[in-house]
Amino acid sequence: MANVTVIGAQWGDEGKGKIVDWLASRADAVVRFQGGHNAGHTLVVGDQVYKLSLLPSGIVTGTLSIIGNGVVLDPWALKAEVEKLTAQGVSITTDNFAIADNCPLILPLHRELDGLREAAAGSGKIGTTGRGIGPAYEDKVGRRAIRVCDLAHLDALDSQLDRLCAHHDALRAGFGQEPVDRAALIDGLREIAPYVLQFAQPVWKRLNQVRKAGARILFEGAQGVLLDVDHGTYPFVTSSNTVSGTAASGSGLGPNATGFVLGIVKAYTTRVGSGPFPTELEDATGQKLGERGHEFGTVTGRKRRCGWFDAVLVRQSCAISGVTGIALTKLDVLDGFDKVRICTGYRLHGKVLDYLPSHAADQAGVEPIYEEMDGWHDTTAGARSWADLPAQAIKYIQRVQELIETPVALVSTSPEREDTILVRDPFVD
């Protein structure tokens, strides 16, 4: 049986939560390997709706759920999310939930810095969620982060706090802010430490034991490949690597453990925040896609920008991340369109491109080249087999997989867990 790595192949918000939830019922462990509580996964199980930001989606099914070392952890956000899910009847214990003890912490000073930077950026805003993710990753790379394991040694933290505060006090002074209140920071950490430490352990060791026992591991990515700090639409990206290779470094398992790479792809395209978006529709069609798809961010509530499916971007994402197969989501949103369009290339300065260039000005300047297809008027909502789909919808799916040069493994036709067409089983292939 294969392990499975799930990533977003667009700008996030592709419906990863539902797919991971669907797969988690067949997995033995689910691992978050990058990002933080800027992720937003919505799960619909019967009449219950669960909104997750930090916890792995497998927690809802009772599957062993692990936050890997590649994640940046806000301990207060973690506690609040656990309490919210517990109130919904989800059991979260030390038996089914673990946190990597070498996981870096997001502190109040990171959230404050994130907000100060965005407020000062004016029209040049990146569009961050303001949750301190970027500054926390900066401190990790700068070797001044406070990690989960440090919570057990708070009395020996002075030298680390010296380095951390020297850096942040200088930044805060530039924004006209007071220095970091070290006493308040330590008091906050001392209060939250027992809660976090009950879940802390060397998860690389536990995962290796799970793997040796022949269990199936599901790696859950956050955001999408087009937001990857190296391969995305830089600088309008997140602060971590979102590609499938990060599953290895962000969990403590080797690269041969990632298994089947499942790229989640929406049947059209959306984006939250600033940055280039070649197929964006700022018209009635874009409005219709947004309304029918309920396109608002799970974490921020921000309205998502909408546009036609961009095969160029998805093909690029699949190549960069070694995607084995895609899960096509929200097909039902396209029901009722007389015509549907797919972007097959770009024009830039008189040249035709089959990829998105790296420079921000070139990314903003490309013009999409479209291929138009007949739409369909019968519903795809709730379909669970090919026989339930309109013929033209099947043609659309077939054309998508031809253009992105990657086969379709799953098709999702509603937010409900069971409204899924299985074409190829990731855990078997």
- The percent of the chain in helix, strand and coil, each rounded to the nearest 5, is 40, 20, 40
Chain centroid to Cα 356, Å, comes to 21
Instruction: Determine the Cα angle at 235 with ends 231 and 240, to 5°.
Output: 55
Please state the φ and ψ torsions of residue 404, each to the nearest 5 degrees.
Answer: -90, -5
Please state the φ and ψ torsions of residue 138, each to the nearest 5 degrees.
Answer: -60, -45
Question: Whose CA is closest to 59, among 81, 34, 37?
Answer: 81
What gap in Å lies between CA 367 and CA 50, rounded to an integer? Answer: 38
What gap in Å lies between CA 52 and CA 373, rounded to an integer? Answer: 36
Provide the b/e sequence for 17-26 (b: ≥16 CB within 10 Å).
bbbbbbbbee
Please state the φ and ψ torsions of residue 352, each to the nearest 5 degrees.
Answer: -100, 130
Provide the b/e sequence for 385-415 (b: ≥16 CB within 10 Å).
eeebbbeebeebbebbbebbebebbbbbbbb
Of the listed 21, 37, 41, 110, which one is catalytic?
41
User: DSSP for 383-397?
Assistant: --SGGGS-HHHHHHH
Coil/strand/helix, residue 147: strand
Known catalytic residue at 41: yes
Neighbours of 172 (CB within 10 A): 18
* 302, 131, 136, 145 alpha-carbon torsion, rounded to 10°: -160
Of the listed 13, 139, 150, 310, which one is catalytic?
13
H-run or E-run covering 218:
strand 217-220
Question: Whose CA is closest to 148, among 107, 197, 195?
Answer: 197
Please state the φ and ψ torsions of residue 278, each to the nearest 5 degrees.
Answer: -55, -35
Q: Which residues are known catalytic residues?
A: 13, 41
